[in-house]
Structure 1
């Protein structure tokens, strides 16, 4: 066996997890091997946080600091000239090509800001990788050679942001078009405490990104003191400090990459929260799902979108709306949450939004009227020009149920508009079990669903889950030394994007408490190394564990009131597992589930035909609760799902509660 482990090191890791009864992580490793992703993922782990760690190395940081400290009385352009000469190059050599001239312009714009204020600011912001700000820059003068600048940006330039902005911090990305950007310039010698005090004196606006241009040099020890002060103060959010040392280091990067590198190198010493566990996800934190996003954006792509709770269906639709909605270009993409609405209420909500945006003159009374108005709109009979219109309809289960009672007339209307519009109109219906059930009707050649394609949103792949966890953490200065740590985290989240965000948020918040408890200190941190000891407390966090179980139960109970089929079948599957001490020797068929129902006397399941029972289990596979093996047998999609059903006593008690009276 030793030879096999030499050829396949992961076998040793799997054996270790099994011996420690860490079945979820062992399952992860086996899946990665099956998918052939183990090497690719190992390389991904190594790549984070490479650049930040490189910046901190004494051989890189100390020479830059020494150059700045020894030449403190000179302006940055003179220091840069000395730095170039110490590296056997010169200004004249840089001037011979556009990349070199851009570096010189970056340094000179810094000097012009310090010398002349607003004159150099626009250029400096541009050379830091941002679009040029609008001309109406507001300036406030404070004592001690301090100035505050308020910048705004043209919203029409936001569409190109995703191509150049790859960091995860909204305040320094898409947020600049909403809240603008603040720049505080500080000249002269300062301690780290004085920098903090002077930033606070300028007023804190947490929703607005603040760049502090400090025309001085900070030793690494001072930076780490700055980091501690920033991290323990909840008000000091979305503030980065760029001193001369970092400015010189940034000359090694091209302009379009400089903003990302600035955030990557400065934010670990600042305070931000990139993870968002509830609410709208900004484009900076839309990570993964690239294939699904492209399919939904495709005007000829799928119409039906389904999957379990917390898998990101709503976020996908909102992201499509964000990317495709450009009224200035006659392109419209509206997102609708119609949870609990029948076909009449949904029509009112959709038509109302179109009316408010001037796309229809009067609200239609019927879906047929709506169809005629849409055809008039798309053929140019109204004054309003429309080159593209997308209706992204979320939480559509109740809508589909009511539409089915009317022979799917609303769906036929939407389909007819799509067919009539020559790829200028698309509708998307997203939801849970009803969307799955109506998608199955595509197999019926005489139904409207026969012309509609679908996409099933599954839990993240290991690589996407890694990126969602690691990328933001790396920008916050975290270092994760091994794949085992990552697998431990992800196995707890079940690869649900919402839970990964939730756990990432907890990790970032934990830094503040770790400083207070002296787990982190200014001698060594950042970086913030996540080892098993550090993670253990967080992984056992009561709120986190309750949230995981709650989200799993929500998916199981999506058909609550509809005989609780999913929950009952999951209980029966868990009972099968429990009979074999949680380690079944084979997977299970619908017959096995029915046998459990017979034993407990649950007629809700025994009255179902095997065909209908199998159809429900297939739906649970689509919702990612179950998965099916090559022989057509079922098992829980993740071992942790079985664990969350409770112990043997709880499973039996729950099944007994469903027994016929």
Structure 2
């Protein structure tokens, strides 16, 4: 029942018993008492059509999920023997305020809202079926696996289906052994199923799989292991000759397939099938399950059947018009997530619409176009399309090339191209992206894009494959002609996104938040020899978490971490403490010592840094141990660092210490990491990333607050709204944030104010074209060190025109002025 009325978060339902016909005020009182929770209202009497119409207007206007059952309905249901529950819903749901569509419920789609994919489900339930499921983001892979899990477990008490989301296992953001991570996850899952004792653990996968084989045989079990988001895991395992996949295959073989594993992921997962001499190809039949846009019949039912149950039909009072449903399918490109989104908006729109009389009510073309014209709907459609293209940089390049080739032909963008023609066009448009791509690999890209619903495949004469854009509607999603040409020109100058780019932006997760250091910065601090590192930051970038981050780094490499707490600010005290640290850990090969310099004068800071440099240089003679001394600079120590004569300061930074790091704000690639690892999964799109950057400025403290607000939320709009309210409802909060930026130098505050004033006189585009000297002359600035000082605090960008971070710009005048 709870799924039927679209309130899956409620486990219980109130039942309201009414003997006298309830009036408007009584129903509102009931609703207020139970806080508008879903309820079944049993009225022991008969309601006429006028009374039902009044009840419907009340539930819609007050958003009440009430199912009304009166004597008339009870009498009717008494005559329905086989489909009584279905009949009850069809008679009550049209009079309740409900919305069964769930566009952001990744994997958690109620059974009655899951349409199609029957062939795929049956193949995955087959003991000899495929072991790989692949498809683009938000196309329904997780929902498919959940349906398979439910149906498998319904087969009998000895059928166990285990679903695990393993997207983080094998990622660049963690240095934990992927084998150990998966072993622990699977052990816990089997403990939960009662197969292993709560205190059972395993040293390695070999012992685990032997114990699993024994349990399956002993209890005559059938186990289906569904590993979702397996891309990173398979990539890591491929680097070790599919060691773990081989162990899982052994369980399958030795249990006569009473145990089976299925891996699901993006299109990259499919590519592992083609790796020679590897066990994946022997886990199931030679094919793989491709999850793309819904087949036409299923997409049609996903729109028609729920609306029919809610008391609506597509057409006018005279007859139904199926073309209206196909119009929705055209707008959404048969994408299941977009169909759910469009359906949700259409239900909300119709719930607010005034209708006379009783259901069923018609849905018109104007109603559908009103939804399509909504900016948030069009943005989401565009974003889902862009999500698909972002799976691989070359997908977008292929689409842009196809569009630019046909723009002047006025052919509806339906021209067909052979793979060879497209290969030549794309190599000309983006040499760096395609010059190392073979023709076979390029054909693979085209097939992947066909599976994603971007391209369609035609055979001329039955032999020659040709491709075109699946729908001309996709062209409008890419923008105007100038925007398409500009984007293609931008891509033509870029390199293919690499793992290196992720390392520069990804961060280690330190429960419940992320490290203030990027993975690349962690690597720089670890180094490969003894030396000194300087780390600059402020509370806004959570510099107080640096010690936790460094402790995590040392744990990953089985090293030791210590925070130097001696109160003296002289170098001898630091050296003595470092000596004691090494003596306490004679057998530890890697050590990190952290020293917080906040509260010390410029002279004391120099003494300590130079003393540590000298100590580490002496250690270079002893290759047995590696010591990294990290100095932490907060707002005041950063200011005092810039009080040191420039020549001496620069010499230390460039010639004497190993690493100088400023804690960075989160960038787009980093925000993508947050979205990808959030549970339940958040939509990864340019729009959602842009919204988070705009709301937080990428500042760590605000990003952490966004993450906290978003715990267990499936829609990023919820934490965004809460964060906006947090910043807008209190000047004290905003003032505290400005203080957290750590700008303790008055001249630096004046610099920001002057720079913002210049920005009011000239556009940022105009300022970008000017030299540093011109900008400084406009601002009448003499102290150039202020620019470096503000960049250390992440306030200014690295560009020559010194742009102030946008969120800081937005709030600066109100708080500082």
Change (3 A) 1:431 1:194: same
Per the TM alignment, residue 446 of structure 1 is displaced from its structure 2 partner at its CA by 6.4
The equivalent of 2:622 in structure 1 is: none
Point out the more displaced range, 424-433 or 341-350: 341-350
Query: In 1, are the aligned partners of 2:137 and 2:387 still within 8 Å (CA)?
Result: yes
The equivalent of 1:490 in structure 2 is: 329
1:413-455 superposed Cα distances (whole Å, 9 cap, x missing partner): 22221121123111110111221211334xx476542553311
The equivalent of 2:15 in structure 1 is: 183
Per the TM alignment, residue 288 of structure 1 is displaced from its structure 2 partner at its CA by 1.9
Query: In 2, are the aligned partners of 1:627 and 1:635 still within 8 Å (CA)?
Result: yes
Query: In 2, are the aligned partners of 1:325 and 1:334 still within 8 Å (CA)?
Result: no
The higher relative CO (CA closer than 8 Å, separation ≥ 6) is in: 1
Q: Matched residue of 1:241: which SS?
A: strand
The equivalent of 1:379 in structure 2 is: 217
Mapped partners of 1:201, 1:610: distance in 2: 66
Q: Does 1:276 align with 2:108?
A: no
Q: 2:391 aligns with which of 535, 558, 570?
A: 558
Q: Which has the larger radius of gyration?
A: 2
Change (3 A) 1:201 1:356: closer
Change (3 A) 1:636 1:436: farther
The equivalent of 2:30 in structure 1 is: 199
The equivalent of 1:477 in structure 2 is: 311
Q: 2:74 aligns with which of 237, 240, 247?
A: 247
Q: Matched residue of 1:459: which SS?
A: coil
| TM-score using structure 1 length | 0.66
Mapped partners of 1:358, 1:327: distance in 2: 18
Per the TM alignment, residue 328 of structure 1 is displaced from its structure 2 partner at its CA by 8.8
Per the TM alignment, residue 335 of structure 1 is displaced from its structure 2 partner at its CA by 0.8
Q: 2:422 aligns with which of 586, 593, 606?
A: 593
The equivalent of 1:304 in structure 2 is: 132
The equivalent of 1:460 in structure 2 is: 294
The equivalent of 1:429 in structure 2 is: 263
Q: Which runs of 5+ in 1 are unaligned?
A: 1-167, 515-519
Mapped partners of 1:585, 1:501: distance in 2: 28
Query: In 2, are the aligned partners of 1:192 and 1:225 still within 8 Å (CA)?
Result: no
Mapped partners of 2:493, 2:29: distance in 1: 72
Per the TM alignment, residue 502 of structure 1 is displaced from its structure 2 partner at its CA by 1.1
The equivalent of 1:643 in structure 2 is: 476
Query: In 1, are the aligned partners of 2:49 and 2:358 still within 8 Å (CA)?
Result: no
Q: 2:55 aligns with which of 226, 235, 239?
A: 226
Q: Which runs of 5+ in 2 are unaligned?
A: 171-177, 316-320, 495-817
Per the TM alignment, residue 629 of structure 1 is displaced from its structure 2 partner at its CA by 1.3
| TM-score using structure 2 length | 0.54
**Aligned alpha-carbon RMSD (Å):** 2.7
Q: Please show how residues 349-368 of structure 1 align to structure 2 within 5 Å.
A: 349-360=185-196, 362-368=200-206
The equivalent of 2:341 in structure 1 is: 502
Per the TM alignment, residue 251 of structure 1 is displaced from its structure 2 partner at its CA by 3.6
Per the TM alignment, residue 557 of structure 1 is displaced from its structure 2 partner at its CA by 1.2
Q: Please show how residues 507-656 of structure 1 align to structure 2 within 5 Å.
A: 507-514=346-353, 520-521=354-355, 523-559=356-392, 564-581=393-410, 583-584=412-413, 586-600=415-429, 602-630=431-459, 631-656=464-489
Query: In 1, are the aligned partners of 2:152 and 2:159 still within 8 Å (CA)?
Result: yes
Query: In 1, are the aligned partners of 2:403 and 2:413 still within 8 Å (CA)?
Result: no
Q: Please show how residues 41-440 of structure 1 align to structure 2 within 5 Å.
A: 170=3, 179-188=11-20, 190=21, 192-193=23-24, 196-197=27-28, 199-200=30-31, 203-204=34-35, 206=37, 209-234=38-63, 236-237=64-65, 239-254=66-81, 256-279=82-105, 280-325=108-153, 329-342=157-170, 343-344=178-179, 345-360=181-196, 362-380=200-218, 385=219, 387-440=221-274
Q: Matched residue of 2:17: which SS?
A: strand
- Length, aligned pairs only: 471
Q: Matched residue of 1:456: which SS?
A: strand
Query: In 2, are the aligned partners of 1:355 and 1:363 still within 8 Å (CA)?
Result: no
Mapped partners of 1:306, 1:545: distance in 2: 27
Change (3 A) 1:302 1:330: same
Query: In 2, are the aligned partners of 1:331 and 1:386 still within 8 Å (CA)?
Result: no
